[in-house]
Structure 1
């Protein structure tokens, strides 16, 4: 497993704050050379699967976001997960619970008939159960990501790196498809590379990117293998919370450093979270002491994550 030192962790935190910050700026803030930042970035890409990706905010982009849970026979689950990973409308896919469950995050146009959910899941006897849950509100996750990777910089360094966006922002249109595809492949692609991908001038790309970022229509997320950061155990947590207390519980959970996602959802479990912990004992401690102290949580289902089959950067 890749070993991270203080410079690596500071670089990861810097990219968490601004995924497109120039290496010269990051070097100035961290007190290291530009060459050191570039060299560490290349190593983290190679050894820790680090990726900066540009993504649309689902709500601002007029998309509905779903989590689809499929249960399949053990010998077919991995093949099914790989087939779903090839779809453009799947954002991430996790193999769960002993290798028999697949959890798929799906983005669809808000006004669509949700074809994946209703028609396009392969018709096979190996699938024994399917359930679909629309994410109604993200309390944490997306533009604000797991705090376990964002604990190396002080307040002054964070302020120096935080981008300033002005203006109301602009919605995505079909003309942005090539730009978004390029940013999803590499959120740090240069303006020249983005110009080549879109057929626009570099100046046009810069203006359009600024417009999309200003209102939060597009954000830059950071993906990295959590194990080098000390999180070897992952789980999705499905909770049923008394409706009158859902908002308060969700806002509390959004402050927990163990969680990378907190969202209200449809279905018997009306709150879902993703936990990242150092080991199984730490996950048990979190469930029994942190979540156990919240009496509004009426039921809790813990689904261990065995492997991430697809992440946003692998679209």
Structure 2
């Protein structure tokens, strides 16, 4: 339970100090530091800080690609190298790819969707789904598997609330800082200064500004297999439009859900599910998803491997 509490604490404020977390968690700072190091080594825990696409008003697209046998790996690798993709996964029998693209409204959307992808050799089909509302995961907040802290404990850790009067924004000059934070959101100011070539005081000022304007949010990457969750599946749901909000709210309350959003397209809800095994997934689909009013059809695509996760190539 302490490990889950530490992960939740990092999700609330990824740069919180060990002493600060220890005061909230009721243990020593040495214990927190030791358990954090163990989580990094044994559970693949990685804290990242990323620009908040919702706050920045970015368009978010989930792209589903079907490839010829043997073509998924190079196509997924090419997608992972793009700076606008945040996750890229190989699914099903190794002939399906799912990826998330975040671009400014005036960004490279047309080039990706209309030119580059259709010309990719051995690409069988492409469907692009624009995210129109987020229910769980990502910048929305921790999923229910990561919620062992009480509201009072969360309040004791949370960074200052974003100043809504100040617009969130990133500049080209922020790229070195954002690149470093996408690899490790807990790098010290000295380490960030080395990575960016800035002074420590410049790093501190800009990082504080990005956090206070809500431009950055913290996420935590965890290897589910090392925590006993061996069934990872992407769900594509066709939901009656009048039931989108209620189905989304229901999914967001399930601890099996780590991400859920409403999208455009024939399947208008996408969700990422993790379960202990396939039998648990069967029970989840039949007892919790299939009974939701408004769910008309469900497609499942097992996640075989993440090529890129939380903005970093694996």
Q: Under a length normalisation based on structure 1, what TM-score does the superposition of the two structures give?
A: 0.90
Task: Verify: 1:72 aligned to 2:67, yes or no.
Answer: yes
Match of 2:226 among 225, 228, 240: 228
Task: Verify: 1:57 aligned to 2:55, yes or no.
Answer: no
Task: Verify: 1:43 aligned to 2:38, yes or no.
Answer: yes
Match of 1:148 among 145, 149, 153: 145
Match of 2:112 among 109, 116, 121: 116
Cα deviation for residue 226 of structure 1 reads: 1.5
Residues 68-127 of structure 1 show CA distances to partners (whole Å, capped at 9, x for unaligned) of 111112322123222322222211111111111010111222123412222223735422
Q: Give the conservation status (yes or no) of the 8 Å contact 2:256–2:275.
A: yes
- Structure 2 residues without counterparts, runs of 5 or longer: none
After superposition, the Cα gap between the structure-2 partners of 1:125 and 1:226, relative to the gap in structure 1 and judged at 3 Å, is: same
2:249 alignment counterpart: 251
Q: Give the conservation status (yes or no) of the 8 Å contact 2:135–2:260.
A: yes
2:175 alignment counterpart: 177
Cα deviation for residue 199 of structure 1 reads: 4.1
Alignment of 1:166-245 (within 5 A): 167-168=163-164, 169=166, 170-245=168-243
Question: Hey, what's the Cα distance between the residues in 1 that align with 2:119 and 2:292?
Answer: 41
Q: Give the conservation status (yes or no) of the 8 Å contact 1:95–1:308.
A: yes
Cα deviation for residue 166 of structure 1 reads: 5.3
After superposition, the Cα gap between the structure-2 partners of 1:62 and 1:87, relative to the gap in structure 1 and judged at 3 Å, is: same
Range with greater deviation from structure 2 (277-286 or 54-63)? 54-63
Match of 2:83 among 88, 91, 95: 88
Task: Verify: 1:139 aligned to 2:135, yes or no.
Answer: yes
Alignment of 1:292-303 (within 5 A): 292-303=290-301
2:24 alignment counterpart: 29
Question: Hey, what's the Cα distance between the residues in 2 that align with 1:116 and 1:47?
Answer: 37
After superposition, the Cα gap between the structure-2 partners of 1:7 and 1:246, relative to the gap in structure 1 and judged at 3 Å, is: closer
2:161 alignment counterpart: 165
SS at match of 1:302: strand
Q: Give the conservation status (yes or no) of the 8 Å contact 1:167–1:211.
A: no
1:13 alignment counterpart: 8
Q: Give the conservation status (yes or no) of the 8 Å contact 1:140–1:261.
A: yes
Residues 142-179 of structure 1 show CA distances to partners (whole Å, capped at 9, x for unaligned) of 1313221332x344433322223353344222232222
Q: Which stretches of structure 1, 4 residues or more, deviate above 4 A after TM superposition?
A: none
- Structure 1 residues without counterparts, runs of 5 or longer: 1-5
Q: Under a length normalisation based on structure 2, what TM-score does the superposition of the two structures give?
A: 0.90
SS at match of 2:71: helix
1:310 alignment counterpart: 308
SS at match of 1:60: helix
Cα deviation for residue 42 of structure 1 reads: 2.3
Q: Give the conservation status (yes or no) of the 8 Å contact 1:149–1:229.
A: no
Q: Give the conservation status (yes or no) of the 8 Å contact 2:118–2:126.
A: no
Residues 268-305 of structure 1 show CA distances to partners (whole Å, capped at 9, x for unaligned) of 01111111111111111111111122121111111111
Cα deviation for residue 308 of structure 1 reads: 1.3
Q: Give the conservation status (yes or no) of the 8 Å contact 2:85–2:311.
A: no
Question: Hey, what's the Cα distance between the residues in 1 that align with 2:117 and 2:239?
Answer: 30
